[in-house]
Amino acid sequence: MLGLFFPSCCFAANYEYPYWILDHPDGSNRYRLNVSVTSSLYDYYRSKDHDVHSAYGFGQFVTPFALKPIADSLWNVYSEDEDFANGVLMIIHQIRYEASGPQKYPVETIVENEGDCDLFSFVVASVMMAGGLDVVLLYYERQDHMNVGVNLSHVPDDARDAVCYFSYSGKRYFMAETTGGNWENGWRVGECPDLLDGASSRIITLEEAEQLSPGQVSSSYDALTTSSITLSLSSAFVIEGGSVTISGSISSASTNRSIIIYAKSGSSWVILTTVQCDPSGRYSYDWKPTSIATYFVRASWSGDADHAGTDSSVQSLRVVPLSLILVVVMSVSFVAVAAVILVVLRRTGTVQEGSSVQ
């Protein structure tokens, strides 16, 4: 029966990254934006399907909800859409360029701190979309390149050359080039790299963008306060058809304590449920697994404007087939009955032998 129990895994640290922005492309006020990503959120996106399911279906990799805290932080500095859009470009220009094979989600690009034009474009489109801007992806098939088009309330004032845009559905989408490593003097909205001068682009709208994610990154101009969360199971194993109670608590005093519980029985983490903490910070969930398997379970909180998100340790649960329990019970019963019979026979035999001697 020892194989029914598994040790819990250690706590996983968050991924922390600082990004610099200016209050204006030509401004002098610098702000350091601290972004934190929980390991569970990163693992969730790594576990997702990375295939493109339709022709030019790149919009599925745009995840505005997951990156909304970054957009909220930027709006605390900027007051108009062009400056906001250029602030997003400042951030992406600080991520190292590295040619990538398969597509990746923005959380993966942020954590891995590298990407190429399409991965950068997914990040930029996600933050701009989360900030309320109307954006599209611009795909240049002949140049094998991608960047973002953003519709603004006015023609960009800060472009240092002729303004470049594409018209679509009666709107002008100004080019936002996402590559380049110079965050202070890099590409601004409306500017066009020489490679793309006169190039035609396929407009990719973002109806397929992810509407909701299990969690969000944390973002703040101040150092994010650490928090912690625990998770325990009422049992390390459960018989098929039975249930187990998942419970724990969070240390943060935040009022926004929506806890995500993840589970996996193979290689992919999935969302088991989302529960709310009670006023004391405790949560509980009764779970009835549907399959016979070994499950791994953990809890996560996304954090808020003051606190970094946090993950619990990983706990394991073994769902045991009912048939196995019946076999074990029958085997134990058989052994017990056999033992009783053997004892009775021995006692009977001893009495008879004693009588024959007399």
| pLDDT tens-digit series, residues 120-133 | 999 999 999 999 99
Number of domains in the chain: 3
- Expressed as residue numbers, the domain containing 309 is 225-320
Task: For residues 234 and 192, state if they share a domain.
Answer: no
Whole-angstrom distance, CA of residue 137 vs CA of residue 103: 14
Q: Report which residue type is found at 153.
A: S
Task: For residues 156 and 265, state if they share a domain.
Answer: no
In whole angstroms, what separates CA 108 from the centre of its chain?
8
Task: For residues 117 and 248, state if they share a domain.
Answer: no
Residue 10: the pLDDT is 45
* Residue 5 resides in a domain: no
If one counts every other C-beta atom within 10 angstroms of the C-beta of residue 158, the result is: 15
Task: For residues 154 and 265, state if they share a domain.
Answer: no
H/E element holding 336? helix 322-357
Instruction: Give residue-wise pLDDT tens across range 285-325.
Output: 999 998 899 999 999 998 888 889 999 999 999 998 866 45
Task: For residues 170 and 257, state if they share a domain.
Answer: no
* Residue 216 resides in a domain: no
Task: For residues 155 and 246, state if they share a domain.
Answer: no
Task: For residues 150 and 280, state if they share a domain.
Answer: no
Instruction: Give residue-wise pLDDT tens across range 68-120.
Output: 999 999 999 999 999 999 999 999 999 999 998 889 999 999 999 999 999 99
* Residue 312 resides in a domain: yes
Task: For residues 249 and 138, state if they share a domain.
Answer: no
Residue 251: the pLDDT is 87
Task: For residues 171 and 314, state if they share a domain.
Answer: no
Tell me the pairing of strands 237-239 and 315-320.
parallel
DSSP 8-state secondary structure symbol assigned to residue 59: G
Task: For residues 53 and 166, state if they share a domain.
Answer: yes
Percent of the chain residues topping a pLDDT of 90: 71
DSSP string across 74-136? HHTT-SSHHHHHHHHHHHHTTSEE---SS---HHHHHHHTEE-HHHHHHHHHHHHHHTT-EEE
If one counts every other C-beta atom within 10 angstroms of the C-beta of residue 271, the result is: 14
Task: For residues 304 and 336, state if they share a domain.
Answer: no
